[in-house]
Chains A and B, each alone.
Chain A
Amino acid sequence: METVIGKYNYWIYIALMMIGFYAMIAKRNLVKKIVGMNIFQTAIILFFISTAYKKDATIPILIKSQEVIDPAKYINPLPHVLMLTAIVVMVSTFGVALAVIMMLYKQYKTLDEDEIIEILRKKK
């Protein structure tokens, strides 16, 4: 029981990740694939953020008048910084993937992978 209380947050994020991962490899619609990609990356971000949390701690913005600073009273800033970077990477990947999908749509007039492969096979 203690394990469940201590670890359930990780499990939820892993479940989310796997939903995204499944969508990425199993769905045949291109947009659904990149939506899955987004879910996957967002779940990783949540996972990192949850590692930053400490019980009874507050956001890492210090008050200047304080003389002795207790690190246990502030949550860990490093994962937040890393995830700011990862969010930007996620947005950029999403933008590039959308651009590529739009090029595909212009060529084949469809967003379904099977149909695109069918068109390519007919051309041969």
Chain B
Amino acid sequence: MNLSEHSSILIVVIPLIASFVNIFLNFLQRKLCYPFFVLVLGICVALSIDILCQVINFGVLRYRLGGWMAPWGIEYVIDHLNAYLIVIVSSMSFIVAIYSKDSVKKEISKAKLPYFYSTYLLLATGLFGITVTGDIFNLYVFLEIASLSAYALVAIGEKRSVLASFHYIIMGTIGACFYLLGVGYIYIITGSLNISDLTRLLPSLYESKVTLTALAFFIVGIGIKIALFPLHRWLPDSYTFAPSAVSAFASATVTKVGIYVLIRISFTLFEPKFLIEMTPLSNILIWWSTIAIFFGSLIAIGQKDFKRTLSYILIAEIGYMVFGINIGNKEGFIGAVLHILNDSLMIGCLFMIAGGVFYRIGSRNIEDFNGLNRNMPITMAAFTIAALSMIGIPPTAGFFSKWYLIVGAVKAGYLVSAVILIFSSLVNALIFFRILEKIYFTKNENTPMYNFRELPISMMIPIVITALAILIIGLYSGEIISSVIKFSLPKGF
């Protein structure tokens, strides 16, 4: 028996089992819940790195669940793209899990903490399940696990979060239903649910109206789940009022996994030429995402609430990724996939800092950031790094992905979109330099002198780790592209 050949299934099953065991621990010894929860996510990080190494060394991993052959049973297929996503999701969930220890104590009552940890683990399970699976219906099941736990995690935040969560439920269910309808349409004309089997079957059916409708429904359904601009209504409220650990985790992973599903559907399930050449869909998506970038950035300027500003920036970033996927050349795709990693780190780090500031001064208003560097120098240094990366200043990670995206846009001839991308970076600069100025240089007489120190160590470490990771990944982004992302390019790019 060799456990490492089972690591692709263990990464889903271990957090799943842990979420049940957490319920038992609640009745046996409540203090053990938190260490157990962090330990399990730590194991997941180790497993995900193991999977990535296996994929780099031996190529695509296939795992037949229940021992059944592919179109009859469910199959796990892990290539470079999946493995990359799993590493991102598992490490972000681990980092935010460490962070959640102190931040959650103020926001959730003690008796409910074990249930919170269980739900968090279930959200992680759902995301892992979506990432590794090679079956479109199995993907729907895990999408629902992830969504249900995300609704609940949002709803336990501040008072207004409940209404936000309700909107999230309505929108999320419409998205999931559209996805399920897409699965149904595909199933009726092919009779199969396995992605590799469908890749073989679908090309002969590209002329059919059903295929096109199914693809459109997939895209709209996932578009709701990733909050692409006109469908974004649920996101700002949810991430503003959710507990800070939840906003950090969800913003860093949920939408990124949605982007991954979009890539899978558009380029693995269907051939790239179907989306790009045979139908106008990719052209529509390019303009759609350009509008998303423009309006996301524009609305972000006007916000006073820091978390809400970040939410609108996140909407713009989602636009970047959808844009990069659809322009249909190598640079754009590399930029989009690299941006998944960078954006996950940057947004995660910024949301954690927002939560940290809220933990200390009890406010999310940007006006209250005046002179914070005297009290929280390390956190604010991390904030500076993340902000610079968000703007796209060279040594940080954010620069490289944006560079690839702009090069791709220019190469494909979408000059307007390239201008909008640069405009969005300038808007980010405007927003973040305004905050940085408040933090470092404002010495207003009216500024209240806060008498507190740095954040507790358990919140400090995750913030510092993500900030350092932004710098390090910036230096090594060439390596990441040549060893992982290059192999995940779709056929014909």
A-side residues, CB < 8 A to B, are: 17, 21, 24-25, 30, 33-34, 37, 40-41, 44, 47-48, 51, 78-79, 82, 85-86, 89, 92-93, 96-97, 100-101, 103-104, 107, 116, 120
Listed stretches B164-172, B285-293, B334-342; interface member: B164-172
Q: Do residues A93 and B155 form an inter-chain contact, with CB atoms below 8 A?
A: no
Cβ contacts under 8 Å, A100 to chain B: 151, 155, 162, 165-166, 169
> Within 8 Å of chain A (Cβ to Cβ): is B3?
no
**What are some 19 contacts across the A-B interface (CB < 8 A)?**
A24-B170, A25-B174, A34-B169, A34-B170, A40-B174, A44-B177, A44-B180, A44-B184, A51-B188, A79-B187, A89-B144, A92-B144, A92-B148, A96-B148, A96-B169, A100-B151, A100-B155, A100-B165, A104-B162
| Docked complex Cα distance between A95 and B184 (Å) | 24
Cβ contacts under 8 Å, A107 to chain B: 159, 162
Interface residues on B, range: 20 to 34
Q: Do residues B137 and A82 form an inter-chain contact, with CB atoms below 8 A?
A: yes
Cβ contacts under 8 Å, A47 to chain B: 181, 184
Cβ contacts under 8 Å, B162 to chain A: 100, 103-104, 107
| Docked complex Cα distance between A104 and B188 (Å) | 40
Cβ contacts under 8 Å, A40 to chain B: 173-174, 177
Q: Which residue of B lies closest to A33 (CB)?
A: B170
Q: Do residues B187 and A51 form an inter-chain contact, with CB atoms below 8 A?
A: yes
Of the candidates A24, A44, A51, A97, the one whose C-beta lies within 8 Å of that of B181 is A44
Cβ contacts under 8 Å, B159 to chain A: 107
Shortest CB-to-CB span from A44 to chain B, Å, is 6
Cβ contacts under 8 Å, B64 to chain A: none
Q: Which residue of B lies closest to A36 (CB)?
A: B170
> Total A-B residue pairs with C-beta atoms closer than 8 Å?
67
Shortest CB-to-CB span from B259 to chain A, Å, is 23
| Docked complex Cα distance between A79 and B137 (Å) | 11
> Within 8 Å of chain A (Cβ to Cβ): is B276?
no
Given A21-B174, A89-B141, A97 and B184 touching (CB < 8 A)? no
Q: Do residues B160 and A24 form an inter-chain contact, with CB atoms below 8 A?
A: no
Shortest CB-to-CB span from B252 to chain A, Å, is 23
Of the candidates B166, B173, B180, the one whose C-beta lies within 8 Å of that of A101 is B166
Q: Do residues A93 and B173 form an inter-chain contact, with CB atoms below 8 A?
A: yes
Q: Which residue of A lies closest to B160 (CB)?
A: A120
Q: Which residue of A lies closest to B180 (CB)?
A: A44
Shortest CB-to-CB span from A105 to chain B, Å, is 10
Q: Do residues B151 and A116 form an inter-chain contact, with CB atoms below 8 A?
A: no
> Within 8 Å of chain A (Cβ to Cβ): is B152?
yes
Of the candidates A17, A25, A96, A116, the one whose C-beta lies within 8 Å of that of B152 is A96
Shortest CB-to-CB span from A96 to chain B, Å, is 6
Given A82-B137, A103-B162, A51 and B169 touching (CB < 8 A)? no
Shortest CB-to-CB span from B100 to chain A, Å, is 22
Q: Which residue of A lies closest to B174 (CB)?
A: A24
| Docked complex Cα distance between A48 and B137 (Å) | 13
Cβ contacts under 8 Å, B137 to chain A: 82, 85
Excluding A85-B141, A101-B166, A107-B162, 9 further A-B contacts by CB distance (< 8 Å) are A79-B187, A82-B137, A85-B137, A89-B141, A93-B144, A96-B152, A97-B169, A100-B155, A116-B163
Q: Which residue of B lies closest to A104 (CB)?
A: B162
| Docked complex Cα distance between A69 and B8 (Å) | 37
Cβ contacts under 8 Å, A103 to chain B: 155, 162
Q: Which residue of B lies closest to A81 (CB)?
A: B137
Of the candidates A25, A41, A93, A120, the one whose C-beta lies within 8 Å of that of B169 is A93
| Docked complex Cα distance between A116 and B167 (Å) | 13
Q: Which of B144-163 contact A (CB under 8 A)?
A: 144, 148, 151-152, 155, 159-160, 162-163
Q: Which of B111-131 contact A (CB under 8 A)?
A: none
| Docked complex Cα distance between A96 and B166 (Å) | 10
| Docked complex Cα distance between A92 and B173 (Å) | 12
| Docked complex Cα distance between A74 and B110 (Å) | 54
| Docked complex Cα distance between A30 and B144 (Å) | 21
* Bitwise interface map of B from 178 to 201 toward A, beta carbon under 8 Å scored 1, else 0: 001100100110000100000000
Cβ contacts under 8 Å, A92 to chain B: 144, 148
Q: Which residue of B lies closest to A86 (CB)?
A: B180
| Docked complex Cα distance between A24 and B166 (Å) | 12
Cβ contacts under 8 Å, B144 to chain A: 89, 92-93
| Docked complex Cα distance between A97 and B167 (Å) | 10
| Docked complex Cα distance between A93 and B177 (Å) | 12
Q: Do residues A37 and B141 form an inter-chain contact, with CB atoms below 8 A?
A: no
| Docked complex Cα distance between A107 and B162 (Å) | 9
Shortest CB-to-CB span from B87 to chain A, Å, is 29
